[in-house]
């Protein structure tokens, strides 16, 4: 993280989506941001890295960089690709997408040769977003978000189909997912308050012990860690308001001490709250 640059995505107000046409940079250094970035290769010979993995894309292939993932444009031909970026809140505001995000975020490459229908669908939706954004459509924002949701659902269906054996081996059930959806929704709405596992468990109608076990099993993260992530996400938005002190941001996001806030914020983002604020200024 120390050798990478954090990029601030400025979305067209009031939308949470931006699109870059075929004039994309041919080289771009390692960086990360809180938005998702989906790229469709327009020509053969596109090279990207996500994390430590190098991907060589041909025309029609899709590259998926999810929020927070370090990625790099190693080298692409001139006018060789186009991409969309959209705010992570589009995923986080939907409990079904959020609950399977651990599977989504493992999917970074879709081959047009191996998955032609899926790759073509994603490319078509990206091209449609480009068309919509260039139009004078009064509902351009909603139509664009509709395309993004279509893409996310199709990717979700793809990864969950591939992960069916994993899910079945974990003994997950439909009622279990319902508990998790209800819990995530309650946590999201009350994260700024001093909520506990017991409170969440009582709200959804199961024991604290069972909730703790269920949450870790389905989300692959503990309740405290998940709650910290939600609060840090809230704090990153609050830090953009220069009228608020860092202490104000910590308590408004739900942290009970600035010491804990500073420690957790650095663990999750790689930056101190003060340095994070400087980056965005």
CATH number at residue 107: 2.60.120.280
Handedness of CA 242, 246, 249, 253 (dihedral sign): positive
The 10s digit of each residue's pLDDT in 148-186 is 999 999 999 999 876 555 555 555 567 887 888 889 889
Q: Report which of 190, 229, 186 is spatially closest to residue 205, judged by C-alpha positions.
A: 186
Tell me, yes or no, whether 140 and 20 share the same domain.
yes
Confidence of residue 96 (pLDDT cuts 50, 70, 90): confident
pLDDT of 100 reads: 77
Residue 174's Cα: distance from chain center in Å? 24
Tell me, yes or no, whether 262 and 216 share the same domain.
no
Tell me, yes or no, whether 30 and 103 share the same domain.
yes
Tell me, yes or no, whether 251 and 194 share the same domain.
no
Tell me, yes or no, whether 105 and 149 share the same domain.
yes
CATH number at residue 253: 1.10.10.60
Q: Domains in the chain: how many in total?
A: 3
Tell me, yes or no, whether 174 and 47 share the same domain.
no
The neighbouring-strand residues paired with 35 are 87
The 10s digit of each residue's pLDDT in 104-123 is 888 999 999 999 999 999 99
Exposure letters 16-36 (e unless 16+ CB within 10 A, then b):
bbbbeeeebeeebeeebbbbb
pLDDT of 17 reads: 86
Question: What are the structure tokens assigned to 125, written together?
Answer: 């939706």
Contact 24, 81 (CB under 8 A): yes
pLDDT at 280 over 80: no
- The single residue listed with the structure tokens 């004078």 is 136
pTM for the model: 0.68
Poorest-pLDDT segment among 191-195, 197-201, 244-248, 276-280? 276-280
Q: Report which of 17, 78, 84 is spatially closest to residue 42, judged by C-alpha positions.
A: 78
Tell me, yes or no, whether 140 and 253 share the same domain.
no
pLDDT of 7 reads: 61
pLDDT at 279 over 60: yes
Tell me, yes or no, whether 139 and 161 share the same domain.
yes
Confidence of residue 281 (pLDDT cuts 50, 70, 90): low
pLDDT of 119 reads: 98
pLDDT of 210 reads: 93
Give the residue numbers spanning the domain of 265. 228-281
What letter does residue 12 receive in the DSSP assignment?
P
Question: What are the structure tokens assigned to 46, written together?
Answer: 């596109």
pLDDT of 13 reads: 38
pLDDT of 4 reads: 58
Tell me, yes or no, whether 155 and 18 share the same domain.
yes
Contact 72, 30 (CB under 8 A): yes
Q: How many CA atoms lie within 13 A of 48 on its CB side?
A: 27
At which of 178, 202, 220 does a domain end? Answer: 220
Confidence of residue 5 (pLDDT cuts 50, 70, 90): low
CB atoms within 10 A of CB 67: 20
pLDDT of 14 reads: 39
The 10s digit of each residue's pLDDT in 195-232 is 999 999 999 999 999 999 999 888 778 999 989 988 98
What percent of the chain has pLDDT above 70?
89
Strand order in the sheet with 28-32: 5-6, 28-32, 71-75, 46-50, 53-57
pLDDT of 10 reads: 53
pLDDT of 233 reads: 81
The neighbouring-strand residues paired with 110 are 62
Tell me, yes or no, whether 34 and 122 share the same domain.
yes
The 10s digit of each residue's pLDDT in 15-29 is 578 888 878 889 998
Tell me, yes or no, whether 42 and 157 share the same domain.
yes
Confidence of residue 72 (pLDDT cuts 50, 70, 90): very high
Q: Mean pLDDT over all residues of the chain?
A: 86
Residue 86's Cα: distance from chain center in Å? 9
Contact 23, 51 (CB under 8 A): no
Confidence of residue 1 (pLDDT cuts 50, 70, 90): very low
Tell me, yes or no, whether 39 and 112 share the same domain.
yes
């Amino acid at each position: 993280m120390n050798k990478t640059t954090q990029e601030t995505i400025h979305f067209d107000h009031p939308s949470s989506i931006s699109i870059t046409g075929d004039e994309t940079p041919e080289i771009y250094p390692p960086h990360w941001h809180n938005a998702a970035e989906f790229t469709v290769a327009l020509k053969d010979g596109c090279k990207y890295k996500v994390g430590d993995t190098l991907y060589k894309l041909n025309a029609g292939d899709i590259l998926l960089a999810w929020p927070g993932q370090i990625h790099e444009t190693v080298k692409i031909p001139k006018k060789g690709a186009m991409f969309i970026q959209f705010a992570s809140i589009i995923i986080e505001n939907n409990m079904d997408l959020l609950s399977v995000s651990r599977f989504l975020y493992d999917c970074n490459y879709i081959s047009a040769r191996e998955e032609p229908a899926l790759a073509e669908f994603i490319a078509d939706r990206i091209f449609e977003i480009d068309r919509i954004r260039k139009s004078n459509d009064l509902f351009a924002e909603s139509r664009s978000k509709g395309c993004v949701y279509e893409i996310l659902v199709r990717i979700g269906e793809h990864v969950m189909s591939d992960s069916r054996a994993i899910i079945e081996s974990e003994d997950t059930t439909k009622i279990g997912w319902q508990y998790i959806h209800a819990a995530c929704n309650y946590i999201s709405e009350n994260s700024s308050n001093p909520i506990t596992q017991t409170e969440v468990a009582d709200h959804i109608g199961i024991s604290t012990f069972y909730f703790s076990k269920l949450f870790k099993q389905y989300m692959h993260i503990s309740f405290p860690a998940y709650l910290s992530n939600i609060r840090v996400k809230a704090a990153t938005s609050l830090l953009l308001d220069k009228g608020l002190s860092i202490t104000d941001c910590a308590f408004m996001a739900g942290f009970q001490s600035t010491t804990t806030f500073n420690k957790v914020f650095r663990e999750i983002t790689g930056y101190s709250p003060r340095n994070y604020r400087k980056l965005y200024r």
